[in-house]
Every structure is written in C-alpha cells, then in structure tokens.
Structure 1
C-alpha cells in the first residue's frame, strides 16, 4: 500500500511540475534569447541589401512581454525601386526561426529625389516586430503580413510611383494615368495615399480599380485640386481606404 501511495504521489508531483513548466514565461534575455534576436536582425540585413534595395537604418524598441512570450518592436528604414518593395515584404512574411516570427504592422513610403537606371527610389519605413513564443503561432501574424503584401500588390497593379510626365509631356499611353507620391498603412488597416492624376477621371478610376481588387472594403477620395507638374496641368489627390484590422479579436497577442 505504501508503494502504491508513493507511486501516486510521484505521478502527481511530475504532473504538477509539468504544469508549472508549461506556464513559465518565455525567457526574453540572455544568450538564448539574443540568438533569436541576432538571427532576425541578420536576416533583415540580408533581405535589405539585395540589388535594388538600400538598407538605411534600424531602430529597436524595448521588449514587450506577454504571458507566454515576448515581442521586440523594430523599425527598418530602406530605399528601394518600386518592384523591390513587395518582394521584401514577402521575404519578411516567410521568416521563421525556432519559435520566432517577424510581423509587418505598419509602413510609410514616399518618392525620393534619387533615381537609378531602374527608376525612382522610394523611401520606406517599415514597422514590424520580432514575436517569440506562443503568440508567434497565432493567426494574426500571417494576417498582418498577408494584408501588407496584398495592399502594395494592389496599389502597384492599379498605379505606379514613376511620374507619368516626362520632358513636359504626358506618358499615359500603355500605362496608368496616375502616380503615387506618399503611401501610409497603419496597423489598424487604415490606408492613406497621395498622388497625381493626368485627369480628374483618372483619379476616380483609381479608386474604382482598388475596389475591384477585393482588398479594400472602403475607399474614397477626400481631396482633389488642380496643380501643375513640369508645367503640365494635373490633379493632385488624397484618398483613404480601409483594409480590415488584421490584429483584432482573439488573435491579438496578450
């Protein structure tokens, strides 16, 4: 009987020990944690130093601790040709190391004064986070990443960042009649775009094109005014759109 009671006590003890270990928070400091951080930072360096992309700066914020994990907010600055932006977002979307993922949450993009043989360079600031532990496996990580890829794929399909006026003449033939100068996507899914259109109807057609992609539940122009670009009459416009809140609900890390 004593052996039986001892056996039961050991089983209960091991079971309780397992529960305690399962509830222990993920370690967010020390060599093991830094190994995960280093892997992510080295990955960003490799991703942002490819042809057509220029890695400019990186800022790391203090660690945010969750019950079963942690995240480290990161802000990456780089310059890229238009065709280089979406591939960068896709590479970050696919990143995984141990129990960590990178999640893209917000982004700002503007047309710079620099050009290369491939075209105008865009200045991009990307707000993302290295998420470690149980929250890294939640659906919100993929939803955030996929949303950003869809938004920029849709924008670049409907318009361009290359001015549609060259040498004082419109060049809309065979291409879009609008071009984008500033784009901002917030973490709550709100999109703000500023750009130029060769005609009033070209601006309204852009909004219609965004609706047709199926990635924007709401989109509207909030400002249009006549302007000139290289002495050519154009319309400057601002539009806003919603893309859905990828981080809402039970999938939000806590």
Structure 2
C-alpha cells in the first residue's frame, strides 16, 4: 500500500507554487508515495477569533472545513506546507490555517512525520518565509527535513531534488533513525515544562503519550550534546516557571489568565 503525503497549498491553482508541487508528484509516485494537494483557497476556512477554546476548552467553536483538513494531515505519513511569498511571509489563507493549529503546538499529534516547507517568489522574501515554515513544523512536533524553493532567478532544482530525496527516505524510515536538531529538542522540553506549569489542560495529553520523562517525543538519534542541553534547558525553565507560577496559581486556566493589566 502506498504511503500518503498531504500538501497544504496556500496559493492559487496553476500558480508557481502549485506547479512546483506537481513537478515532484511523479518522483513521489515512483517511490510508493501518493501526493494529495489540499487547496486552502477552495476550502471554507474562517478567521481564528482568539477565544482559546482550542487550548482551554473542547476545541474550536467555529464550524468550517478545519476538522476535515486536520484529520487528513494527522493521517498522512508526510506533510508539505506550500505557500508563495506574500509580503515577506506566507499567504493570508495559509496563515489563517496555521493560526487555527494552536492545539497541535500545545498537544502535538504530528510527531515523527517528515515535513517540508515549500515556497516560491518572483522577487524577495524567501528567507523569512522559509524560516517561518520551519518554525511551524517544529512547533507542530513534526520532523522538518528541509525546505524546497524556487524564484524567478533560479529554480534551485538540484538542491530541491536532494531535499525531496531525504524526505522520501524519511517517510520510509523508522522514526527512531531521525536526528532531531538542538532546536527541536529544546522546543520539546519547553512544551513539556509549559504543560507542567502554565497550561495544565495540556498535561493529560503529555501523560497519555508518556512524554514527561522522555528526552524527545519518540526514541531517536539524539546526540549526547543535544540530550544534555535539552535536560539543562528543561531544568532551568522549570525552575523559573515554577517560581513564577506561585504568583498566578488562582489564575491559571481561568478566562482571565493572560490578560494584561494596565
């Protein structure tokens, strides 16, 4: 049975970003992978209202196509997040989708899934956009492989094919062979500490997955240096937040938590 990669597209059909995705479809198929492109511009996606019900309540209160999309992403073996550069960042539709994935950041469900950020531009803004897409992947708990990009000046195809090859290998690979970066390890430890202190609603998810005593979401090839630095970061941040939270014990989890007082 073929594995499936979900590509979230924040641009128009037949645009440069869409065409770049299609260019890789044959290569993926040759390696036992189906590519399904979700055209966000054609989905019913409504703006996040910032109600935080996804974090502190029972899920998003807005009824749109978001659950359909997230179910497909969660069931895939790999993820590509693709957007043209709009004003030095992703498109508005892509940002709308990302804004509504806060739960994935607090209680990651995409752990171990190979991830690629993809972008195209006619002029500038690639660096900022690709950096943001990488941050999104790490924040979701996915496993970023690298970025694919093209511009009016160069298609960058030689390097893109190398990234795609690594992506294909990672999809067919046991996650225990992944090599999380120091940033990935530190972000894992940060989320763990926040679940223990600031966001008690996340704690059940972390306990269920037995992550509270782990160095990372799953067994992986973590270098000794990254393992030590991750443990140190966890110890330091836990100490700082435990002390700080003593002043906010009655507010954590309440509707007034996080509101600024002037």
TM-score, L = length of structure 2: 0.30
Find the structure with the greater CA-based Rg.
Answer: 1
Which structure is higher in strand share? Answer: 1
Q: TM-score, normalised by structure 1?
A: 0.31
Which has the larger helix fraction?
2
